[in-house]
Structure 1
C-alpha cells in the first residue's frame, strides 16, 4: 500500500513538472512570436492631386481653305507649316477657259452698250418708243452681270488665305482637278499663337467638379477655376499652364459627358492642330489625413491598414478598414477609418494577421512616404 502511495506521489510530481515546463515553453514561444514592426504616426498634410483627361488640340483660329470654282491646280505657292497672311494667294487654278468666257462676255457688254447708245437719240426724237430703249438697257445690264460673274470666278481661281496663321497639311498638288464639292479642304490655315485643348468629364465628375468650384454663378466658378496642366503625347509636361474658359451647358446624350475647353499660350509654336495629350486638373486637400499606399492592403474590394493598439498585456496590430478620398502619387488621402495621431504599421504587413502581438518601432513618416512630391498652396 505504501508503495502504491509512493508511486502516486512520484507520478503527481512528474506531471506537475511537465505542466510547468509546458507553460514556460508556451510563454517563450509567445515571446518569440512578438516580432518588431516599424510604425509611424499618422500626419495631416496639404497635398495637391491631379485628375487626368484625354485632350485634343486645335488652334484658336483654324480655317479650312476650299475652292469656290472647279479647275485644275496649276500652282501651289506655299508649303506645309509656312506662315501666311490673310489674303495671300496659296493656290492657283487653270483659267484659260474662263478667260475665253470672259472675253466673250466682254464683247456682249460692248455690243449691248452700242445698242443702247444707238437707241437713245431715236427715243429723244420720238422715232421709237422708250420701251425699246429700256429693253436694250436690260440686255446691257444682263451682259454686265454675266461678265462680272465670270470675272469673279477668275478671281476665285486665285485661292487665298482667309486668315493670318500657319499652313497645315496640303492634300492636293499641281495637276489635280478640284471643285467646291470636294469633301476635304485644300488645306487649313491656323492661328496657333494660342491653342484650345478640348476634353470631357462624365456627368458625375462634372457635377462634383462644378459644385466644389468657388463662386455663386456658373461664370464665377469658371473664372475661379485653377490653372490646368497639359501632358503632351511624349509624356512631358508642357511648360505653359492653361485656363479653363468654357464649359458646354449640355450633357452629350450619346456619351453622357460634358465637354470643356481650356486655352494655352503657345509662343514657341510647340503645339499645333491635331496634337493629343492629357489635361491635368488640380485639386488641393488642406490638412488632409494621409497614409502611404505601401502601408495598406486590399481585401474583397476594401482597403485596410494595421493600426497599433495598446492592450493591458501587450501591443497588437488591428486590421482597420479605411475610406479613401483619392490617391495622390504614392499616398492615399483618407476620408475615414483613421485619424491624425494614430499609429499604423509602416511595412511588412504581409506577415500580420488581425490581433498579432508586435513590438512597435517608430520611424519617421517621410522615410516611408518617399519618393513623394508635395505641392503646397
Structure 2
C-alpha cells in the first residue's frame, strides 16, 4: 500500500477549495455597486483665505517725556474709555525745573516793568525795553515747555478700547525712544480681517463680480463669513472693505481687508481665522469624493457603460466641498459613475448598478473654488 504524503493532501484540498470558490463566483455573477447619474446644477462654492485679525484702531501708547513709572492705573485686557488715565510718570525733576523757569519769568517781568517808565521819560532808549521784552518772552516759552512736559507725565487713553500687554511695571524708566510701547489700546468694536489673494484669484474675483471700478466690485461682492480657530463659524457676517491697489512683488499676492462687527468682544486683535467668500457657479458637476481614486497623481473614476461594464476615466477638479469634488472635465451630464467601492473594481468588470439618490441636487453643499495661497499678512 502506497503512502500519501501530508503536503500532497494539503495541495489537493487547496485546489478543491479554489475550484469551489470559482464555481460559487460563477453562480453569483456580477456584484452590485452603488452608482449615480451625473447632472449639472447651480452651486454656491467658497473660496477660503487665512486671515489675521486686528482692531479697527491699534494705538501704541508711548511716553512723550523720560521718567520713572510712578503708577499704572490699568491692567492687561481691561476695557478703557477715551481720556481715561493709564500711567503716571515721576516728574519731580521737571517740577524743580518749572520752579526755576517760573522764577526767570518773574525776574524778566520785573525788568520790563522797571524799564517802561524810563523809556516813557526818554531816559533810556526803546531798544533796551525791547530787549527786556524779548527775554521775558523767552522765559515764558521755556516755562511753558517745561509745564507741558509735566503734563505729559500723566498719560491718557486716546481712544476707547482694550489694554494689551504691559511690559513696563511701576518703577521702570521709560523714554520716548524706547523700542517697546507702554501698552497698546485696541478698539475692537469693528475687527478687520486681513487676507491675501494670489494673482489668479484676484483675476477670478475681478471677472466674477460686476463693476467698472474696485468700489463697484466690492459693492456687488457678497458678505463673507469668518471661521474661527475652533472651526466654528462666527455669528456675524462681514464685508470686504478694501483691496490693495498693488501686487506684492515678493509674494505675488494682493491684500484684502474684510470687516466684522464685534458687539460681544468675541474677536481679539492679533488672533487669526479663515475668511470664506461665497461664489455662485452655474451648471457645475458635483461628484462625491468617495467616487474618486488616484493613480500616479491623476484623479480617476469608474463610469458604467450600457453593458454595465466599468471603464476608468481621468477627471479634473477645481476644489472640493465637504463631500464633493467640483468636476471641470472628464464627465458629462447623463454619465453614470460608481460612487462607492472603486478599490474593488477592475477595468471592464461587469457590475449590477444600484442607482442612488443624488442628494447634491437637493441640497447644495458649499465648496472651495480654489485652494487659497496661505501667506502671512498684515
- Class of the TM-score when normalised by the shorter of the 2 chains: 0.7 to 0.9
Contact 1:57 1:195 in 2 (8 A): yes
Contact 1:47 1:328 in 2 (8 A): no
Aligned-partner SS, 1:216: coil
> What is the Cα deviation at residue 189 of structure 1?
1.4
> What is the Cα deviation at residue 99 of structure 1?
0.6
Counterpart for residue 215 of structure 1: 211
Larger Cα-atom Rg: 1
Counterpart for residue 252 of structure 1: 248
Which of 92, 98, 104 aligns to 2:100? It is 104
> What is the Cα deviation at residue 223 of structure 1?
1.2
Counterpart for residue 371 of structure 2: none
Counterpart for residue 329 of structure 1: 322
Which of 80, 84, 107 aligns to 2:80? It is 84
Contact 2:284 2:326 in 1 (8 A): yes
Q: How does 1:38-117 map to 2 (within 5 A)?
A: 38-117=34-113
Counterpart for residue 6 of structure 1: none
Aligned-partner SS, 2:149: helix
> How big is each residue's C-alpha offset from its partner over 1:194-224, in whole Å with a ceiling of 9 and x where there is no partner?
1101111122222222222222322111111
Contact 1:232 1:238 in 2 (8 A): yes
> How big is each residue's C-alpha offset from its partner over 1:127-158, in whole Å with a ceiling of 9 and x where there is no partner?
11111111111110110000000000000001
Q: How does 1:337-348 map to 2 (within 5 A)?
A: 337-348=330-341
Contact 2:322 2:365 in 1 (8 A): no
Residues in 2 aligned to 1:39 and 1:346: alpha-carbon distance in whole angstroms: 5
Counterpart for residue 10 of structure 1: none
> What is the Cα deviation at residue 375 of structure 1?
5.6
Contact 1:59 1:191 in 2 (8 A): yes
Gaps of 5+ in 1: 1-25
Residues in 2 aligned to 1:63 and 1:373: alpha-carbon distance in whole angstroms: 44
Q: How does 1:227-242 map to 2 (within 5 A)?
A: 227-242=223-238
Counterpart for residue 140 of structure 2: 144
> What is the Cα deviation at residue 27 of structure 1?
12
> How big is each residue's C-alpha offset from its partner over 1:288-324, in whole Å with a ceiling of 9 and x where there is no partner?
22211101111222212111111xxx43111122221
Counterpart for residue 350 of structure 2: 357
> How big is each residue's C-alpha offset from its partner over 1:153-206, in whole Å with a ceiling of 9 and x where there is no partner?
000001111112222222211100000000111111122111101111122222
> How big is each residue's C-alpha offset from its partner over 1:65-124, in whole Å with a ceiling of 9 and x where there is no partner?
100000000011122222322222210011111111100100000000000000011011
> What is the Cα deviation at residue 46 of structure 1?
3.2
Contact 2:321 2:366 in 1 (8 A): no
Aligned-partner SS, 2:305: strand
Q: How does 1:3-42 map to 2 (within 5 A)?
A: 34-42=30-38
Contact 1:54 1:277 in 2 (8 A): yes
Residues in 2 aligned to 1:326 and 1:233: alpha-carbon distance in whole angstroms: 22
Residues in 1 aligned to 2:165 and 2:49: alpha-carbon distance in whole angstroms: 27
> How big is each residue's C-alpha offset from its partner over 1:43-79, in whole Å with a ceiling of 9 and x where there is no partner?
3343322222221111111111100000000011122
Aligned-partner SS, 1:284: strand
Residues in 2 aligned to 1:295 and 1:83: alpha-carbon distance in whole angstroms: 53
